[in-house]
């Protein structure tokens, strides 16, 4: 957990922060940007070289050599198809029209459905994975944000948004559930209300009367209360768990929400195949999790599950691939990528990710907390769905990566590769540099920035932080303590090379909070993501002062890019 301080990672984190701040000061002036950038570039390059020197052979086969613990089920794909088909059919005649998303449940909001249709940038399965889950998730984070008592200004809640639909990029992301506006029409089911006491953390989730209602446009009285099997999803007693629309049950993970009362309902909608006890990889519930992705499906861009796709024999021999649950940043990326792409002319994901990384750091703690909380839920749900799954299962599924090498070996082919990349990158970045700058400039001079919550502390209490994952211990505001700017990103490679893994450096126990306890202004980034693109302009001196670290992030990559090849 990045944000947490204390513990072993504390020192590292602290160091990072210090360094980062130092750099901030150095980079405050744009004029000197190039100079520093050059220096940084040199550093980065050298680091890259050093890094690349090291691990040539080891990583290669390592992952692949690893034994696969999990036996694969041939039936998985088949079953999955059945599910897809069945679900698709359901939806065809269902409440919402989003035929393309079989697993897509009640969370479907009319105006949000389109993006999911064919040309979304996200893989259907991936999208479905998250989207399907949201309905089940209670979102404390949202509560925190929406909570009037929270210092977080309303505009913050809009940040997670809805990415412009105009761009036909998939806007709907899990996080939209955090945004009031998205759900305004519907009434959130009470089961999603934050008014839950976290079973593990014991942290009460502040309920909001106004929020207790509907997240989904479901007819309240249709089905009645449904007890949720997952403890952390359990709403308080007396509240309606799930309202099922008369038209049909759309729960992404029916089994999760299924109890005696609704089992019949669900079962009636599922083909016998679906009820068939799944083999290993299929979740015990019999419901395929979106995280499970077969290569074939994974690559299927359209997300359209045409009938022809189902029942493909070849799927039988595919190994089910259960993806890792997305972490907070990944969730953020999914959410914001389209937006960034829309705002900028950037197309290369690497560049986009750099921007996203900076933006991520520029997010307020509250905002990050939302994502951390979402990620936590993701992991929880994932673990619920796939009790036996381990991240290790996916090791070796990808071709190994060559980065993150130790600095001590000598430069070999890899160095070249990295170097080349940086050069190439520069070239490319030059193209979109202007727009990137524009869109990427964080705080900018928008007045709204000033309105950003001045006091993080309160909100901090709310969302769980990226806490000990599995243990799910109380995640006391790890987020709050998280250092806003880390050297990490601009020297991500260095950081990694130095053994500063993100998690390590970041991990901290919220309690100790020794180091970076939200320093009021300077440490607190102004969330610029909430700003409309048009509002994004070069930061005023004032804002720069306030958020010099932003400037750091901004200028660095760009300068690197723009800098003439050395």
User: Within 119-148, which residues bind DNA (CB under 7 A)?
Assistant: 121-123, 126-127, 129
504 is a site residue for DNA (CB under 7 A): yes
Compute CA 375 distance to the chain's CA centroid, rounded to the nearest angstrom.
6
In contact, 195 and 212? CB cutoff 8 Å: yes
- Taking CB under 7 A as the criterion, which residues in 419-448 touch DNA? 420-422, 424-425, 428
In three-state secondary structure terms, 347 is coil
In the complex with DNA, the residue whose CB is nearer, 60 or 181, is 60
**CB burial of residue 294 (10 Å; 0-12, 13-18, 19+):** buried
Count CA atoms within 13 Å of residue 300 on its CB side: 20
Question: Going residue by residue from 473 to 502, which x/- string records binding to DNA, judged by CB under 7 A?
Answer: ---------x---x-xxx-xx--x-xx-xx
Say which residue the tokens 């999990």 belong to: 70
216, β-bridge pairs: 187
Residue 63 touching DNA (CB under 7 A): yes
Closest approach, Cβ 548 to DNA, in A, equals 17
The Cα-based distances of 496 to 59, 104, 113, 406, 484 in angstroms read 15, 38, 40, 9, 18
Q: Which is nearer to DNA, 117 or 126 (CB)?
A: 126
Pick 323 or 437: Cβ nearer DNA: 323
Q: What is the DSSP string of 398-458?
A: SPPP--S--TTS---HHHHHHHHHHHHHHHHHHHHHHHHHHHH--STT-GGGGGS-S-HHH
Across-strand partners of 322? Answer: 292
- 187, β-bridge pairs: 216
* Of the candidate residues 29, 62, 111, 181, the single one contacting DNA (CB under 7 A): 62
Q: From CA 201, how far away is CA 195, in angstroms rounded?
A: 14
| Residue 21 binds DNA (CB under 7 A) | no
Q: Residues 128, 327, 452, 509: which binds DNA (CB under 7 A)?
A: 327
Q: Which residues 249-268 are close enough to bind DNA by CB under 7 A?
A: none
Residue 542: in which H helix or E strand, if any? helix 541-546
Tell me which residue of 205, 190, 187, 195 sits closest to 239, measured CA to CA. 190
Which of 108, 297, 449, 506 binds DNA (CB under 7 A)? It is 506
| Count, residues near DNA per rule CB under 7 A | 95
Told to check if 14 binds DNA by CB under 7 A, we report no
In whole angstroms, how close is the CB of 277 to DNA at the nearest point?
A: 25
Euclidean distance between CA atoms 339 and 512, whole angstroms: 36
Site for DNA contains 306 (CB under 7 A)? no
245 near DNA, rule: CB under 7 A: no
557 binds DNA (CB under 7 A): yes
Residues 455-474 that bind DNA (CB under 7 A): 466, 468-470
Q: Which of 133, 182, 250, 337 binds DNA (CB under 7 A)?
A: 337
Nearest distance, CB of residue 194 and DNA, angstroms: 20
Q: Can residue 118 be called a binding residue for DNA (CB under 7 A)?
A: no
Minimum Å distance from CB 423 to DNA? 9
State the nearest-atom distance from the C-beta of 505 to DNA, in Å: 8
3-state secondary structure of 187: strand
**Which one, 131 or 243, has the nearer CB to DNA?**
131
The reply to whether 410 sits near DNA by the rule CB under 7 A is no
Q: Which of 405, 441, 448, 555 binds DNA (CB under 7 A)?
A: 405
Q: How far is the CB of 404 from DNA (least distance, A)?
A: 4
Among 79, 142, 243, 354, contact with DNA (rule: CB under 7 A): 354
21, 329, 386, 432: residue in contact with DNA (rule CB under 7 A): 329
Q: Is 333 exposed, middle or buried (0-12, 13-18, 19+ CB in 10 A)?
A: buried
């Amino acid at each position: 957990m990045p944000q947490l301080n204390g513990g072993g990672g504390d020192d590292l984190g602290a160091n990072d922060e210090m360094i980062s701040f130092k750099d901030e000061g150095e980079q405050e002036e744009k004029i000197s940007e190039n100079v520093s950038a050059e220096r940084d570039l040199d550093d980065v390059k050298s680091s890259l070289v050093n890094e690349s020197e090291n691990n040539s052979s080891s990583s290669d086969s390592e992952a692949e050599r690893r034994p696969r613990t999990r036996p694969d089920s041939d039936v998985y794909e088949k079953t999955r198809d059945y599910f897809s088909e069945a679900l698709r059919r359901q939806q065809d005649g269902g409440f919402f029209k989003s035929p393309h998303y079989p697993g897509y449940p009640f969370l479907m909001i009319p105006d949000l459905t389109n993006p999911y249709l064919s040309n979304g940038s996200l893989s259907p399965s991936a999208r479905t994975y998250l989207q399907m889950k949201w309905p089940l998730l209670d979102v404390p984070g949202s509560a925190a944000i929406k909570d009037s008592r929270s210092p977080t200004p309303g505009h913050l809640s809009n940040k997670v948004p809805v990415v412009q639909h105009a761009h036909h990029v998939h806007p709907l992301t899990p996080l939209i559930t955090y945004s009031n506006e998205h759900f305004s029409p519907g009434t959130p089911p009470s089961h999603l209300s934050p008014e839950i006491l976290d079973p593990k953390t014991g942290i009460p989730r502040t309920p909001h009367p106004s929020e207790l209602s509907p997240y989904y446009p479901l007819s309240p009285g249709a089905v009645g209360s449904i007890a949720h099997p997952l403890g952390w999803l359990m709403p308080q007693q007396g509240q309606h768990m799930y309202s099922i629309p008369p038209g049909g049950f759309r729960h992404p993970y029916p089994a999760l929400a299924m109890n005696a009362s609704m089992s019949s309902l669900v079962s009636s909608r599922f083909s016998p195949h679906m009820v068939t006890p799944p083999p290993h990889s299929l979740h015990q519930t019999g419901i395929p999790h979106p995280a499970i992705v077969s290569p074939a499906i994974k690559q299927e861009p359209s997300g359209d599950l045409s009938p022809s796709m189902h029942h493909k024999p070849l799927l039988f021999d595919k190994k089910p691939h259960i993806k890792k649950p997305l972490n907070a940043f990944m969730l953020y990326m999914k959410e914001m990528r389209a937006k960034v792409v829309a705002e900028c002319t950037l197309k290369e994901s690497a560049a986009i990710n750099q921007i996203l990384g900076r933006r991520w750091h520029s997010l307020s703690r509250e905002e990050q907390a939302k994502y951390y909380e979402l990620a936590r839920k993701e992991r929880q749900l994932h673990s619920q769905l796939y009790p036996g799954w381990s991240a290790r299962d996916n090791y070796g599924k990808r071709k190994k990566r060559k980065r993150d090498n130790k600095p001590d070996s000598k430069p070999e082919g890899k160095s070249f590769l990295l170097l080349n990349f940086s050069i190439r990158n520069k070239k490319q970045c030059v193209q979109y540099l202007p727009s990137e700058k524009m869109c990427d400039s964080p705080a900018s001079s928008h007045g709204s920035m000033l309105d950003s919550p001045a006091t993080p502390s309160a909100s901090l209490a709310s969302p769980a932080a990226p806490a000990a994952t599995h243990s799910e211990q109380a995640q006391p505001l790890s987020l709050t303590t998280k250092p806003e700017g880390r050297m990490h990103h601009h020297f991500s490679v260095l950081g990694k090379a130095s053994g500063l893994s993100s998690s390590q450096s970041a991990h901290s126990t919220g309690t100790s909070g020794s180091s970076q306890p939200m320093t009021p202004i300077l440490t607190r980034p102004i969330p610029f993501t909430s700003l409309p693109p048009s509002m994004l302009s070069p930061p005023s001196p004032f804002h720069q002062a306030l958020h010099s670290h932003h400037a750091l992030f901004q200028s660095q990559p760009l300068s690197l890019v723009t800098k003439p090849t050395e």
